[in-house]
Amino acid sequence: MKFPKLQYLFRLDDICPTMNWDNFFKLQIIFEKYNIKPILGVIPNNQDTQLNIDLPREDFWQIIRDLHQKGWIIAQHGYQHKYVTNKSGIIRLNKYSEFTGLSYNEQFKKIKNGMTILEEKIGERPVWWMAPAHNFDKNTCKVLKKLNFKYITDGIALFPFKKYELYWIPQQIWRPQKKSFGTWTICIHPNSVDNNFIRQLDFFIANNIEFLNRVDLTPKKSVLNLLFTFYWYGKEYFYKFLKNI
Ligand SMILES: [Zn+2]
C-alpha cells in the first residue's frame, strides 16, 4: 500500500478519574459519530491536583476498558503526572518534567509501576507512550524499549520515524488545522476545551474524514522530516535572536 499523503491522528491528554467528564463525553460522542479511535493518554495513578476538575468517577477503569474494547488506543501518560524536574528533554516544549533528568533506574521504577497499573486495570500491557508535558529524555526511551513499549506519540517531524528503537508518531498541533501532506497528531486536552472547540472539531472531522480513518504508522525515511525539524526549532531560535538584538 502506498503511504498516505495526508493523515491525522487525535490524542486526548490527561485522562484520569477527576477530569472534566462533561467535556470528555462530548468529545467521545463526536469520535464515535465518525468512528474514529483516538489515542487516550491515561495517567496510571494521578497525583497532579491541577487535574482535579470533577469528583473522581468510580467507574473510571470500566469506561477506559470499554473504550479499549472498541479499539481506542491506550497510551501510558507518565505515572503520577507530577513534575519533579525543570529540564526540557528531547522535544523541548516545556521546562518541567516527571522524567527528564532522572536516572535510568528512577525512571524505570516509575514507568514500570505505571505500566503494571494499566496492565492490571485494562488487561493488556500498554505499548504506546505519552510523556506528561511532552517531556522525556534518552533514558526514558531506553526504559520504554526495555519494557517493550513500541510507539511514542510525540516528535517534531512530518512523517512517523524510528529513533532509539521506538516508533515515533509525530505530534505537532493542538487544534484542527488543514494541512496538505504529512502525518499530523492533534493534541486535545479534554479539561480545557469549550463548546466552540468541540463544534470546530466536529466540522473538521466531517470535512476531512478521508484522512482520518486509515492511519499508517510505518516509519517513512524522508529528508522532509529533517527539514521540518530544522524549520520548527530554527524558527524558535530565530525569534529569540531577533528579540535579543
Ligand atoms: Zn498531561
The cell numbers describing 130, all together, are 505519552
Residue 103 burial (10 A CB sphere; 0-12, 13-18, 19+) = exposed
For residue 14, the CA-to-ligand 1 centroid distance in Å is: 5
pLDDT value of residue 241: 66
Instruction: Specify the residue for cell string 493534541.
Output: 187
Dihedral sign, CA of 14, 189, 145, 4? positive
CATH number belonging to domain 6-244: 3.20.20.370
The environment of the single-atom ion ligand 1, i.e. residues with CB closer than 5 A, is 13-14, 132
Quickly list DSSP for 87-143: --TTT-S-S-BSSTTS-HHHHHHHHHHHHHHHHHHHSS---EE--GGG---HHHHHH
For residue 8, the CA-to-ligand 1 centroid distance in Å is: 20
Q: In the chain, where are the structural domains located?
A: 6-244
For residue 243, the CA-to-ligand 1 centroid distance in Å is: 30
Residues comprising the chain, all counted: 245
pLDDT value of residue 214: 77
pLDDT value of residue 245: 66
pLDDT value of residue 230: 84
Q: For residues 122 and 63, is the Cβ–Cβ distance under 8 A?
A: no
Dihedral sign, CA of 205, 207, 211, 213? positive
Q: For residues 115 and 76, is the Cβ–Cβ distance under 8 A?
A: yes
E strand residue ranges, the chain = 6-15, 39-42, 73-76, 128-129, 151-153, 161-163, 166-169, 182-188
For residue 245, the CA-to-ligand 1 centroid distance in Å is: 35
Q: Which residues contact 32 (CB under 8 A, 6 or more apart)?
A: none
Question: What does each of the 245 residues of the chain score in pLDDT, given as a tens digit?
Answer: 566 789 999 999 999 999 999 999 999 999 999 999 999 999 999 999 999 999 999 999 999 999 999 999 999 999 999 998 999 888 888 888 999 999 999 999 999 999 999 999 999 999 999 999 999 999 999 999 999 999 999 999 999 999 999 999 999 999 999 999 999 999 999 999 999 999 999 999 999 999 997 789 999 888 888 888 888 888 777 666 666 66
Query: Position 157: which residue type?
Result: A
For residue 98, the CA-to-ligand 1 centroid distance in Å is: 10
Strand order in the sheet with 128-129: 161-163, 166-169, 151-153, 128-129, 73-76, 39-42, 6-15, 182-188
For residue 223, the CA-to-ligand 1 centroid distance in Å is: 31
Strand partners, 152: 129, 168
